[in-house]
């Protein structure tokens, strides 16, 4: 400390503070801080506030958020509106007792969407109210934020709007942004230009969140002309200021080329920055890119999926579960896969609920999972979701999480059949077999046809069988043959066997033993037991002109291994002969 400053330290605290401010304004924080501390210890509120800022920003002293908060409390108790505002902002951001981590520590952190810290609204409310009533524009913005974003018991949207108006009128950037969001919340189209104007005022003051939102408005032409190149520049500016949501949007725009020239490498770099800064959507998208790329990297995908899943991203938890269940990128672990599916399903992800239900039906999961499954589907099905209705029907049909009830099963499956092909097929089966409803072959044929027309192969085969045997309506073997051929083209072994039988009998198709043998062979190679029996017979007896007893015996043995009694009998005849 210079001789003059040593002498100043002996002066009255007000003079000490004045000298400290001069040194601080001259860019000499290390020399200013000791004098500021002297004035602060004397109880001067402005000095206490400035000492707090020094600790929070690391100016002339090692940074310490806890020490900064302590001096802010002293200054706030002595009536400093600036201290009250800043301390309230720290409470709202959940930063009042945490050490610095490179994030902003002032009211400019309001409205950020990527923070995972828990706000302390109760502690902030009284401080913000005092500062606002004392005329602090920043305090007014913070009070409005608490009244609009705090717990329900604190909310008063009309009062919040009024405080935002006062803050914005005083030129506070946070007030301008808050007023814009308050106007947007009121959904008055006539205010769109005003919303954009207030966001621009906040953006011009350098508020990262406002810069990002101005980019959103500019990209979509809300209150300002559409200008995607300008939007990209705004996203980049906010991204460079460290806003994760802007980093994510910039990365996305560079990857898909929707805002500027495509630059996949730069886009992925911004995505990584966003993900590492806490943007869980960016982490999930990075995981997806590593899975769906031309050269998948499942291990890298698992890393990003896990980051997003641990932060609560439903789809990422489901994707991570899929990797564990398949063993891609991680060691295969059904229990871990089930755990992540359960996490996603419990959070409301309907696709995960379906996946998890199927997993539980296969015997995985825990005893309580069955009850959860039925509960998920019932809540969603009651609101009109047809897929959930179908799954709830399956729960009743199999007694999963509920008492087995075929009538309830039929009712829910019938509801789902209005729009779900699998439900149409299942309901047709119920009508065909008389499970939960009165047997009605005619209606079964109708529902099989709807599912078949939707492209469901099993329904095509089931309908073809009804057309062939005339159950539920006219006997139409030619139409049946065409349906069998559609299903066979999709790889259905049973349909292939049926075509072979039709060629072998001349029913619906011309009699053609060679074609019959070809179709029996196709089905037999796919493991169809009766096709293996027929192929064995054709080859053993030369029914299509080609006699090959050795090959025929092999096919009969395969059929017998599947429990086909006729094959067992014919092999016995071979042995006795």
Q: Which class would CATH give 491-577? A: mainly alpha
What pLDDT sits at residue 508?
Answer: 86
Instruction: Please report the DSSP string for 184-250 in residue order.
Output: HHTT-GGGHHHHHHHHHHHHHTT-HHHHHHHHHHHHHTSSS---HHHHHHHHHHHHHTT-HHHHHHH
Q: Whose CA is closest to 533, among 560, 498, 510? A: 560
What pLDDT sits at residue 3?
Answer: 45
What pLDDT sits at residue 81?
Answer: 96
Q: Where are the domains of the chain?
A: 491-577
Q: Give me the residue label for tokens 């990422």.
A: 316
Angle at 193 between CA 189 and CA 195, to 5 degrees: 85
What pLDDT sits at residue 101?
Answer: 44
Residue 250, C-beta contacts closer than 8 angstroms, at least 6 positions apart: 232, 235, 236, 239, 259, 267, 270
Exposure string (b/e) for 218-241, b if CB count within 10 Å is 16 or more? bbeebbbeeebebbbbbbbbbbeb
What pLDDT sits at residue 110?
Answer: 56
How far apart are the C-alpha atoms of 520 and 536, rounded to whole Å?
A: 9
Enter the tokens of residue 307: 């980051």
How far apart are the C-alpha atoms of 553 and 435, rounded to whole Å?
A: 41
* Collapsed DSSP state (helix, strand, coil) of residue 364: coil
R_g (Cα) of the chain, nearest Å: 36
Angle at 380 between CA 375 and CA 386, to 5 degrees: 120
- Would you give the DSSP letter of residue 418? T
How far apart are the C-alpha atoms of 46 and 86, rounded to whole Å?
A: 13
Residue 530, C-beta contacts closer than 8 angstroms, at least 6 positions apart: 497, 559, 564
Q: Output the CA–CA distances (angstroms, integers) from residue 508 to 309, 457, 496, in the order listed.
A: 56, 20, 14
Q: pTM score > 0.85 for this model? A: no
The tens-digit pLDDT sequence of the chain (577 residues) is 554 444 444 557 888 888 889 989 999 999 899 989 999 999 999 999 999 999 999 999 999 988 999 999 999 999 999 999 999 999 998 887 544 444 444 555 555 544 456 889 999 999 999 999 999 999 999 999 999 999 999 999 999 999 999 999 999 999 999 999 999 998 878 889 999 999 999 999 999 999 999 999 999 999 999 999 999 999 999 999 999 999 999 999 999 998 888 999 999 999 999 999 999 999 999 999 999 988 999 999 999 999 999 999 999 999 999 999 999 999 999 999 999 999 998 898 888 887 888 788 777 777 777 777 777 788 778 888 898 899 889 889 988 778 899 999 999 999 999 999 999 999 999 999 999 999 999 999 999 999 999 999 999 999 999 999 999 999 999 999 999 999 999 999 999 999 999 999 998 899 999 999 999 999 999 999 999 999 999 999 999 988 999 999 999 999 999 999 998 988 887 766 5
């Amino acid at each position: 400390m210079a001789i003059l400053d040593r002498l100043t330290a002996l002066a009255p605290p007000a003079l000490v503070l004045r000298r400290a401010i001069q040194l601080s304004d001259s860019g000499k924080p290390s020399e200013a801080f000791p004098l500021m501390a002297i004035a602060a210890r004397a109880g001067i509120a402005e000095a206490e506030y400035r000492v707090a800022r020094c600790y929070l920003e690391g100016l002339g002293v090692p940074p310490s958020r806890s020490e900064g908060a302590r001096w802010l409390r002293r200054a706030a108790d002595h009536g400093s509106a600036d201290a009250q505002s800043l301390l309230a902002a720290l409470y709202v951001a959940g930063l009042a007792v945490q050490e610095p981590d490179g994030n902003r520590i002032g009211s400019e952190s309001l409205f950020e969407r990527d923070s995972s810290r828990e706000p302390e609204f109760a502690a902030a409310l009284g401080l913000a109210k005092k500062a606002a009533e004392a005329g602090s524009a920043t305090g007014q913005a913070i009070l409005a934020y608490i009244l609009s974003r705090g717990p329900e018991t604190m909310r008063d949207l009309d009062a919040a709007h009024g405080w935002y108006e006062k803050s914005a009128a005083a030129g506070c950037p946070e007030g301008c942004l808050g007023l814009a969001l308050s106007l947007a919340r009121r959904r008055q189209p006539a205010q769109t230009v005003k919303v954009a104007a207030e966001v621009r005022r906040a953006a011009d003051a350098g508020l990262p969140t406002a810069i990002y939102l101005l980019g959103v408005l500019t990209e979509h032409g809300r209150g300002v002309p559409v200008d995607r190149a300008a939007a990209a520049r705004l996203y980049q500016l906010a991204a460079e200021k460290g806003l994760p949501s802007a980093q994510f949007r910039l990365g996305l725009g560079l990857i898909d080329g929707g805002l500027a020239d495509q630059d996949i490498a730069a886009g992925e770099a911004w995505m990584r920055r966003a993900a590492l800064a806490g943007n869980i959507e960016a982490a999930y998208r990075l995981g997806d890119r590593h899975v769906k790329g031309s050269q998948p990297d499942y291990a890298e995908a698992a890393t990003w999926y896990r980051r997003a899943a641990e932060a609560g991203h439903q789809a990422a938890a489901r994707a991570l579960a899929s990797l564990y269940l398949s063993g891609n990128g991680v060691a295969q672990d059904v229990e871990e896969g089930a755990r992540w599916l359960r996490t996603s399903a419990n959070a409301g992800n309907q696709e995960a609920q379906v996946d998890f239900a199927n997993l539980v039906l296969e015997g995985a999961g825990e005893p309580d999972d069955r009850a959860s499954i039925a509960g998920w589907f019932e809540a969603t099905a009651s609101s009109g979701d047809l897929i959930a209705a179908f799954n709830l029907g399956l729960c009743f049909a199999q007694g999963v999480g509920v008492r087995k009830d075929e009538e309830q099963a039929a009712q829910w499956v019938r509801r789902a059949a209005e729009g779900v092909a699998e439900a149409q097929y299942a309901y047709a089966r119920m009508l065909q077999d008389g499970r939960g409803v009165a047997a009605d072959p005619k209606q079964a044929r109708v529902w099989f046809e709807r599912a078949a027309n939707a492209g469901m192969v099993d329904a095509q085969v089931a309908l073809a069988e009804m057309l062939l045997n005339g159950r539920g309506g006219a006997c139409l073997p030619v139409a049946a043959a065409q349906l069998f051929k559609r299903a066979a083209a999709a790889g259905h072994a049973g349909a292939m066997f049926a075509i072979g039988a039709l060629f072998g009998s001349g029913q619906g198709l011309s009699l053609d033993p060679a074609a019959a043998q070809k179709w029996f062979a196709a089905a037999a190679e796919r493991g169809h037991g009766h096709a293996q029996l027929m192929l064995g017979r054709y080859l053993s007896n030369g029914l299509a002109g080609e006699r090959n007893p050795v090959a025929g015996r092999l096919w009969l043995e395969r059929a017998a291994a599947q429990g086909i009694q006729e094959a067992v009998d014919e092999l016995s005849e071979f042995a006795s002969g």
